[in-house]
Chain A
Amino acid sequence: MQELLARIHALDPNASHTLRVIACFDELVRGGVNTQGLLGAAASLSGCVAGYARESPSHTLRVAPSGEMLPDGGCVPPHAVHADGLSVWLEREGGAHANDAMIVERLALALAIRLGRRAPDPLRRLAALLDPNTSTEQRRLVAARLGLASHLKYRVVSLPMFATWTHHPKMVEDVVPTRFGPMHVGVVGQEVEHIQARPCGIGAAMGGGRPPPVVRHRPRQPAPVPPPEHPHRGRR
């Protein structure tokens, strides 16, 4: 099994690996995946053994990139990250790879939530900004924290995780859970009308704490009847 992120990188060097790692662990936490599954994902992403140890009650678990449990190695490696009473690590031979720190950080957070040592992540800021259930007052507050001005208008940009970028501008961005799975979402000034990525959707300019722009999506197919063909559906 090759390192997953290395394979993705070879195909698309511009892909946003950080956001993919965040989206991956968001989904694991939302899905209530157990510690073996969390460690297995980290091991598969990085291509090396992932492990964690805790005290009271004492427990160590090491998982291979294949997802299989390994015997307890006996000691916590010196480079382990410590948080919430847990030690978390990747058993990388040689120097750390570019995404190792991010993988360990998200793994540690996910383990702490799974083990009840930390409250489940509330909606992160961008998700809260766009959630239709957020009140106007709360939305204004979140917008201010994200550095968005109340007198300006902004557009919401949304892309699937697999979108390819020609040019990736600086913007407020995150992964946001949706009913279609995690989406890569950004907020840009109203003057930005086009994003050099595909597939990509961009909404109408809105501001002033108004509800999030309605983002258009296709209705689902109603019935198992052969529909007319749209060979380029889902892409543009």
Chain B
Amino acid sequence: MPVGDHTPGFLFGVDREPGDRPAFDPELRAGLAIVGGMFPPTITPDLIGFMRVSYAGPPLEALIEGRPIRCEDRVFRGYRGHELVASVFRHEGATGLRPGVLFVHSGGMMFGDRFSGLDRMLDFVDGLGVVLVSIEYRLAPEHPDPFPREDVYAALEWVASDAEKLGIRLDRLLIAGASAGGGLAAGAALAARDRGGPRLCGQLLDYPMLDDRGVTRSTHQFDGIGVWDRVSNVTGWTAVLGEARGGPEVSPYAAPARATELRDLPPAFLDVGSAEIFRDEAVAYADALWNAGGDAELHVWPGGFHGFDIFAPHTALSRGMIATRKAWLSRILAD
């Protein structure tokens, strides 16, 4: 609460959610009381350092403990040949070539690492026997556009060219990403089409960060509340795009909401909460894909805040989201 331009009003008293934005699901509200400290609603540039600690992925051992999964690290060449690390996860019992998923992690393009939010992706290794490749990409603001997206694109080219060595069936390669990673995954799918790159069999876009312009209604409904509010989004896009943010020169590979040509893209799956700023851009992207004759599946989870399945996976809404996502992935990738 800054000084100046305030209106007085009662803060206390049991009352309802304001009528001009969807209320959070009750189980998720309870979850927010707990996790709010790990992920403050409003992330300003001075909090990037804190978020890099707070949102760091769990240790590898904790991730794969009790799962029949083996992990090995590989080095690939990112944008301009820079060496980056990828972790490759395989089912212990997997033989021969398997479907592959290239995963791009979340974190507003400013924080997070290849282990952030990976629990749910590892379920696909467990349950479907996919080979999961989770990559590092360079982060803003130290590495602004085009570093994050071109690192991701380089990873896609690497996975495709080394598919056999990685044990991946090239005809069943899918790109997946969450939040910032969802935007980067969508951008890489556009770039792969335009550059004659690897043919993807699907794009899994979890609550993707697609639009730098910040003009949707949902962007303005969640200020100072929930996870990843309007100001956080300004912080993220400014870190990536600098002065170009919101202007006419932004590449659709960086902000896929800018894409005007959406034909010939792989089948897309989008999920998002109704109570988060990315709601409108996710809905608009699915709509644009359909209008271009594409294949898209869209799920809007009522009362869901951003990334709720990562922060509160035990809730009924999260379990529904996780099961629905897995059902789509099974249709595309399962044997």
Closest CB in chain A relative to B209 CB, distance in Å: 17
**CB <8 Å contact, B316 and A36:** yes
B231:A4 contact, CB within 8 angstroms:
no
Contact B20 A220 (CB under 8 A): yes
Residues of chain A in range 39-92 having any CB-CB distance to chain B below 8 Å? 40-41, 43-45, 65-68
| Cβ-defined partner of B31 (8 Å) among A24, A177, A178, A179 | A24
B293 contacts A by Cβ under 8 Å: no
| B220 near A37: Cβ-Cβ < 8 Å | no
Stretch at the interface among B10-18, B102-110, B266-274: B10-18
- Of A2, A40, A235, chain B has the most CB atoms within 10 Å of the CB of A235
Give the size range of B's interface with the partner: 35 or more
| Cβ contacts under 8 Å, A36 to chain B | 316
Q: Is A11 an interface residue (CB 8 A)?
A: yes
B203 at the interface (CB under 8 A from A): no
B234-A164 in contact (CB<8A): no
The DSSP consensus for interface residues of chain B is: loop
Contact with A along B1-27 (1 / 0, CB 8 A): 111011111111111111010001111
Q: In the complex, which of the residues A131, A199, A230 has the most CB atoms of chain B within 10 Å of its own CB atom?
A: A230
Nearest CB of chain B from residue A193's CB, rounded to whole Å = 15
- Which residue of chain B has the shortest Cβ distance to A164 in the bound complex? B37
In Å, the complex CA distance between A235 and B24 comes to 22
Instruction: Given A20-B33, A24-B34, verify A179-B2 contact (CB < 8 Å).
Output: no
Which interface class (under 10, 10 to 19, 20 to 34, 35 or more) fits A? 35 or more
A64 to chain B, nearest CB (A): 8
Q: Which residues of B contact A67 (CB under 8 A)?
A: 313-316, 318-319
Chain B residues, Cβ within 8 Å of A5? 34
Which single member of A130, A221, A224, A231 contacts B216 (CB below 8 Å)? A224
Q: Do the beta carbons of B44 and A235 come within 8 Å of each other? A: yes
With A7-B38, A179-B16, A181-B33 known as contacts, the answer to whether A234 contacts B1 (CB < 8 A) is: yes
A119 interfacial by beta-carbon distance below 8 Å: no
19 residue pairs A–B, Cβ–Cβ below 8 Å = A2-B62, A21-B34, A26-B33, A27-B32, A31-B30, A33-B26, A33-B27, A40-B314, A161-B34, A178-B15, A179-B16, A183-B11, A212-B10, A212-B12, A218-B223, A229-B234, A233-B44, A233-B231, A234-B224
